[in-house]
């Protein structure tokens, strides 16, 4: 076998919110691959980072009243802990906001420039006159110029998949303030992608033929070449949280420039640290055009073109090596549907870990993951059934049924040798399972798990046939019992070796029980004989349905209405009148007029709208209101006046803090109507 040296990366989680199970699908997929390749004897370096730049980070930090650095630092700590506790063992988990990344991004940019692959020209771009900033692509929405879907982002249509610039949108509006953006001119910098058309076409085909790109990905990309590649706008004007372009004050690299460079920057930091047997000079060895190392990216299908067009073009154009492979996976659904906060299926990594063992999800994902772009469904019933039946029932139970006899009758030692039949049985199982190495490498984990279950069935059939619990009652069958338990425990060991990339923590406990450290698939070739084992203690327990239910409950958003009190009431025909109150009671309510600056849907919530109100002397207020069913086009509320309670204690919700309550009339659901105020009422005026 040729020993390969491979740099593996996962897509960078955005430093704007917690990691959820959708992210975990990818981190687990790449982690399993890395562990399997290492157990096959290859040298692998595994890095990732938080994607920490962009307007979204800047605006959120502003809203929270902290610096962007403080925001991304807190998120980095949470992300790192979540990934670690899921057993995703990055050699280095960094951030794109590092010195190393600033340097590498500048180096690549300056090389592109020196090689004539950049240009600059004035661009008319949308500007938010209320917020006094140029609007990033994701902060302008409007109608897709191609398929005419409404409310599409400025950088591409999520319905038809077309990429375009914000200027192409029909009827654009600012997501920041709701204002109609104005076109304003500014100089922008571009990478001339047309320079790379020939190179990219050849690269795509070569990578596909070498197994480094899935055929469906390459087919999808062919569409991009139909009209020729447009130059890629890689600059953004201040204010922006990112890296300033060298020599161009006030101009910043678009986040998608320094994000993929972040893979290399994280690796540079690993090289500089001296860990993994690396040294600082190894970075150049990896990124040289003629490098004999590999660079493999795992990504989701939503970011294909950044990784298979822009990224290889940037690398090639700056005289560096291109990726060896870009492995694309599908999206995660839960119980057959898109993850939903209100159904409790938008599950954060930490919420899962608070209730269930990380290896359970790793195993279940492995049973579902193949080499294609197909979506993966986390069906909770199937999840519970498979973990209980496969991991616990078919695998762990082998050890729990046989270990006791070895300690009771044989001094805790496995037999010194096996008879011919048992030797052949072991060799057969080992040979069947050896196919898993290639299946792991091909990312066909589902096929590997099927093979493992088949061999586990063979093992359990052997145990059932010989019934060691019956043999144990007959003193004349001690030797035979020793043989049966020794083979059974070797089946268990064999399965542990091949399951180790998927369930690393459980496998580590299994190896500790067996009294050995195993880091290589080669250990599966020979059975373990004449060796002491340790006392058995439960390696994994069955999933209790209650724990899944509790996790779902914990994931459900706290949907107390922050809107009309009526929203909580069932739609009754008549309601009893409230008891009387004094004028002083009424005076305790600080009712105010607010002008709607922003109003939009809340991702993952079926009930809420998020309002940003101009509250006059009180500043701006963010309020979540449960009136979505009644207002299907929230953007139309921008500019109108509402009445809200200003002195209600702020309430922390999953999406942010709600600072008040907007009043509406009605019985709830779709029957809710905002109150209005006559023309003279101004934002912040008290309502008495």
Which residues of the shown chain bind Zn ion in the complex (CB under 5 A)? 144, 146-147, 149, 157, 159-160
What's the CA gap between 7 and 620, in Å, rounded? 47
> Which CB, 148 or 381, lies closer to Zn ion?
148
Query: Of all helices (H) and strands (E), which one includes residue 134?
Result: strand 133-134
> Which CB, 159 or 525, lies closer to Zn ion?
159
Cβ 141 to Zn ion shortest distance, Å: 12
> Which CB, 146 or 432, lies closer to Zn ion?
146
Cβ 175 to Zn ion shortest distance, Å: 18
**Token pair belonging to 352:** 């899962």
**Token pair belonging to 154:** 């400025």
> Which CB, 146 or 542, lies closer to Zn ion?
146
What's the CA gap between 631 and 627, in Å, rounded? 6
Cβ 176 to Zn ion shortest distance, Å: 23
Q: Shortest CA distance to 134 belongs to which of 291, 57, 239?
A: 239
Q: Is 555 strand, coil or helix? A: helix
- CA 221 to the chain's CA centroid: 23
Burial class (CB in 10 A: 0-12, 13-18, 19+), 587: exposed
Q: Where are the beta strands (DSSP E) in 580-654?
A: 591-601, 609-614, 620-625, 641-645, 651-653
Cβ 518 to Zn ion shortest distance, Å: 52
Q: Shortest CA distance to 602 belongs to which of 580, 625, 586, 573?
A: 625
Rounded to 5°, angle at Cα 413 from 410 and 418? 95
> Which CB, 56 or 159, lies closer to Zn ion?
159
Cβ 188 to Zn ion shortest distance, Å: 24
Which residues does 546 contact at the CB level (< 8 Å), separation at least 6?
A: none
> Which CB, 157 or 295, lies closer to Zn ion?
157
- Whole-angstrom CA distances from 197 to 90, 165, 213, 254, 304 are 34, 20, 17, 22, 17
**Pairing mode of beta strands 294-300, 5-10:** parallel
Residue 51 is classified by DSSP as B
CB 618 within 8 Å of CB 646: yes
> Which CB, 144 or 200, lies closer to Zn ion?
144
> Which CB, 88 or 144, lies closer to Zn ion?
144
**Token pair belonging to 306:** 């950044």
Cβ 152 to Zn ion shortest distance, Å: 6
Burial class (CB in 10 A: 0-12, 13-18, 19+), 63: middle
Task: Write the Ramachandran bin of 621: left for phi over 0, alpha for psi from -120 to 50, otherwise beta.
Answer: beta
> Which CB, 156 or 178, lies closer to Zn ion?
156
**Token pair belonging to 537:** 């203690």
Task: Write the Ramachandran bin of 276: left for phi over 0, alpha for psi from -120 to 50, otherwise beta.
Answer: left
Rounded to 5°, angle at Cα 333 from 327 and 339? 125
Cβ 610 to Zn ion shortest distance, Å: 25
> Which CB, 172 or 668, lies closer to Zn ion?
172
> Which CB, 143 or 379, lies closer to Zn ion?
143
**Token pair belonging to 161:** 């998949």
Cβ 169 to Zn ion shortest distance, Å: 10
> Which CB, 164 or 611, lies closer to Zn ion?
164
| Residue whose tokens read 């980070």 | 57
What's the CA gap between 619 and 613, in Å, rounded? 8
Cβ 143 to Zn ion shortest distance, Å: 9
Q: Shortest CA distance to 337 belongs to which of 385, 388, 380?
A: 380
Cβ 162 to Zn ion shortest distance, Å: 5
Cβ 230 to Zn ion shortest distance, Å: 17
CA dihedral 521, 525, 529, 531 (to 10 degrees): -20
- Whole-angstrom CA distances from 515 to 35, 412, 529, 536 are 21, 11, 12, 11
What's the CA gap between 336 and 382, in Å, rounded? 11
Cβ 255 to Zn ion shortest distance, Å: 23
> Which CB, 160 or 461, lies closer to Zn ion?
160
Cβ 145 to Zn ion shortest distance, Å: 8
């Amino acid at each position: 076998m040729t020993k390969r040296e491979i740099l593996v990366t996962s897509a960078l989680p955005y430093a704007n919110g917690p990691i959820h199970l959708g992210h975990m699908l990818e981190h687990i997929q790449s982690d399993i691959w890395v562990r399997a390749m290492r157990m096959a004897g290859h040298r692998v370096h595994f890095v990732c980072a938080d994607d920490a730049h962009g307007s979204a980070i800047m605006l959120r930090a502003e809203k929270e009243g902290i610096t962007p650095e403080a925001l991304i630092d807190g998120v980095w700590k949470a992300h790192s802990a979540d990934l670690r506790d899921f057993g995703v063992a990055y050699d280095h988990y960094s951030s794109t906001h590092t010195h190393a990344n600033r340097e590498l991004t500048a180096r690549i940019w300056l090389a592109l420039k020196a090689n004539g692959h950049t240009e600059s020209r004035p661009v008319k771009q949308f500007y938010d006159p209320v917020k006094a900033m140029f609007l990033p692509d994701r902060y302008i929405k409007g109608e897709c110029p191609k398929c005419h879907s409404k409310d599409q982002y400025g950088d591409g249509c999520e319905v038809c998949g077309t990429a375009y610039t914000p200027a192409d949108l029909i009827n654009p509006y600012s997501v920041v303030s709701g204002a109609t953006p104005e076109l304003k001119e500014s100089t922008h910098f571009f990478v001339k992608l047309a320079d790379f058309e020939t190179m990219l076409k050849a690269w795509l085909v070569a990578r596909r033929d070498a197994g480094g790109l899935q055929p469906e990905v390459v087919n999808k990309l062919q569409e991009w070449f139909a009209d020729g590649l447009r130059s890629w706008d890689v600059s953004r004007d201040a204010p922006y949280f990112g890296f300033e372009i060298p020599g161009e004050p006030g101009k910043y690299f678009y986040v998608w420039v320094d994000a993929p460079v972040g893979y290399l920057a994280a690796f540079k930091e690993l090289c500089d640290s001296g860990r993994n047997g690396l040294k600082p000079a190894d970075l150049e060895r990896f990124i040289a055009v003629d490098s004999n190392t590999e660079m493999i990216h795992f990504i989701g299908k939503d970011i294909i073109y950044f990784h298979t067009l822009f990224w290889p073009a940037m690398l090639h154009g700056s005289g560096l090596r291109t990726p060896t492979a870009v492995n694309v996976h599908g999206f995660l659904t839960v119980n057959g549907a898109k993850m939903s906060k209100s159904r409790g299926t938008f599950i954060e990594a930490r919420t899962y870990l608070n209730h269930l063992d990380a290896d359970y999800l790793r195993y279940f994902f492995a049973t579902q993951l193949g080499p294609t772009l197909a979506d993966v469904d986390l069906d909770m019933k199937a999840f519970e059934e498979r973990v209980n039946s496969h991991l616990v029932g078919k695998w762990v139970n082998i050890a729990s049924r046989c270990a006791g006899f070895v300690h009771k009758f044989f001094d805790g030692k496995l037999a010194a040798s096996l008879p011919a039949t048992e030797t052949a049985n072991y060799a057969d199982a080992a040979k069947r399972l050896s196919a898993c190495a290639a299946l792991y490498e091909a990312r066909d984990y589902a096929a590997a798990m099927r093979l493992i279950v088949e061999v586990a069935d063979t093992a359990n059939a052997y145990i059932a046939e010989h019934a060691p619990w019956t043999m144990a009652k007959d003193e004349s069958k001690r030797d035979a019992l020793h043989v049966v338990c020794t083979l059974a425990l070797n089946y268990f060991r064999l399965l542990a070796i091949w399951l180790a990339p998927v369930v690393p923590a459980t496998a580590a406990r299994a190896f500790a029980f067996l009294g050995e450290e195993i880091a290589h698939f080669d250990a599966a070739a020979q059975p373990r004989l004449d060796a002491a084992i340790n006392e058995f203690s439960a390696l994994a327990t069955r999933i209790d349905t209650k724990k899944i239910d509790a996790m779902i409950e914990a994931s459900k958003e706290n949907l107390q209405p922050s809107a009309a009190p009526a929203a909580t009431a069932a739609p009754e025909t008549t309601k009893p009148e409230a008891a009387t109150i004094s004028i002083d009671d009424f005076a305790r309510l600080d009712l105010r007029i607010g002008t709607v600056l922003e109003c939009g849907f809340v991702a993952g919530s079926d009930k809420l709208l998020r309002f940003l109100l101009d509250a006059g002397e009180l500043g701006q207020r963010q309020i979540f209101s449960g009136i979505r069913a009644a207002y299907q086009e929230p953007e139309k509320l921008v500019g109108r006046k509402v009445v809200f309670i200003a002195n209600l204690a702020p309430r922390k919700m999953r999406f942010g803090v709600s600072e008040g309550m907007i009043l509406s009339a009605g019985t709830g659901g779709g029957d809710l109507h905002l109150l209005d105020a006559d023309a003279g009422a101004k934002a912040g005026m008290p309502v008495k």
